[in-house]
A and B are shown apart, each in its own frame.
Chain A
């Protein structure tokens, strides 16, 4: 009910004042855009997070706050929603990257809400800066990392002892059969000795095959696991893995460039495994650049070779030494003071299990380019 003497404009003015007070105090950055993506309001926390004043960005396209490929795709996302009404982020949220005025990108958690104001649709973005997490969160992550490290060592120890136990039996039998055959054939063996030695050698072959079967079974157990292959968007996998890998690196001023070819966006993969590969390669790239004056990270996808997508992660670090290079994908090989040296070995196992390959080469600016291929998913967008 309207109070006597209170006009519509007074109500609108009161609502705007209320909105202003929310924008000034809400702890996460809050950005209001219209359905064309034009910025209408920019909260105080957003000003601090992105380095722009509100009066500078109101009227600009919100995509200016995003790095490629979201920057050039965002208008399309909005149009797609206007045309189809299908929600891909509204009410769902996602981890992605944003670009500060200084050019640096940083990981964010984005939640989007939709509302109607005076008959016009508006979207409200709530942005949580993942680099600004509390020290306790970081410590928790470190602890989780240490636990995972200890867990992996423990699992590998268990695996090694069970492998040794399983293999010990056929190898002992194999040794006995071979020694027996050797003793029978010493001196002047009779026909029976030769026949017995032949039987012993046959048994030895059987034991050797058994040892091979144990190794094969163990490999199948290791590689098959519980993988779940689906058609996935490569740009989504890269954006999320990149955002997570950038957590805690903002102060290092990494210049990140992501260049994804939309013609090769669909791949048939296990999402978690491929994100683990991307995460490992990006973190390795960041660590390799810590002592470098140049810190540029480039992630690129290319529709090649035929039927495959190539994903490249390039850094401007110190490069790979000649002594390390030949064994880089072998387990327990590392140039780091901490780390087990199994990251790249795991990457290779995952990529080869997907039917791709992984390799590295010197970068264009003295660093290293790690590349891997994945089979393209031959499917139309309509089928998704």
Chain B
């Protein structure tokens, strides 16, 4: 599988480092659940991850600058949460103050309208719809 990554371009005597342009802000909004049959735009994650040419998570770019992978959680009347996303094998973890939520994208492409899942601290799993990628 081809993974996009940073590349170096020679310009005269100078070699210029070009960071990959694949880092995206991806908004995940709560999809239909028992409690919210129509989903909820007020319950969302804004995650920052690198995507490759096939819209999969670019693990090469992610591993080269892991501090850029971040998440924000905007959840109705609860305080905003923010932290780092870390990769452990195929698993993406959103960590905050020692507790972790697992972001389940698996090997699916990250595209508008697709679904991903977030496993909460208590083991419950909620579906999210990819609402925007920019």
Contact = CB atoms under 8 A, between A and B. Distances in A.
Contact of B41 (A64, A69, A71, A74): A64
Nearest to B19: A293
Interface in B79-115: 79-80, 82
B9 interface: no
Contacts of B72: 103, 255, 257
Nearest to B40: A60
Contact of B78 (A37, A71, A257, A259): A71
A63 B77 contact: yes
Contacts of A69: 79
A52 B76 CA distance: 14
A354 B78 CA distance: 34
Q: Say whether chain B's binding surface is mostly helix, strand, loop, or mixed.
A: strand
Given A71-B79, A257-B80, A60 B41 contact: yes
Given A101-B27, A102-B132, A103-B46, A57 B41 contact: yes
Contacts of A365: 67
B41 A102 contact: no
A72 B27 contact: no
A331 B40 CA distance: 52
A294 B68 contact: yes
A37 B25 contact: no
Contact of A60 (B19, B23, B27, B42): B42
A37 B41 contact: no
A118 B78 CA distance: 31
Chain A: number of interface residues, binned into ranges = 20 to 34
Nearest to B82: A257
B27 A61 contact: no
Contacts of B67: 365
B74 interface: yes
Contacts of A101: 27, 41, 131-132
A56 interface: yes
A257 B80 CA distance: 8
A67 B80 CA distance: 7
A75 interface: yes
A63 B79 CA distance: 10
B25 A68 contact: no
A128 interface: no
Given A63-B77, A71-B74, A71-B78, 17 more contacts: A52-B41, A67-B80, A71-B80, A72-B78, A72-B79, A99-B74, A101-B41, A101-B132, A102-B25, A102-B134, A103-B25, A103-B27, A103-B72, A257-B72, A257-B80, A293-B19, A365-B67
12 contacts: A56-B41, A57-B42, A61-B42, A68-B80, A71-B78, A74-B77, A101-B27, A102-B25, A103-B46, A103-B74, A257-B72, A293-B19
Interface of B: 19, 23, 25, 27, 40-42, 46, 67-68, 70, 72, 74, 76-80, 82, 131-132, 134
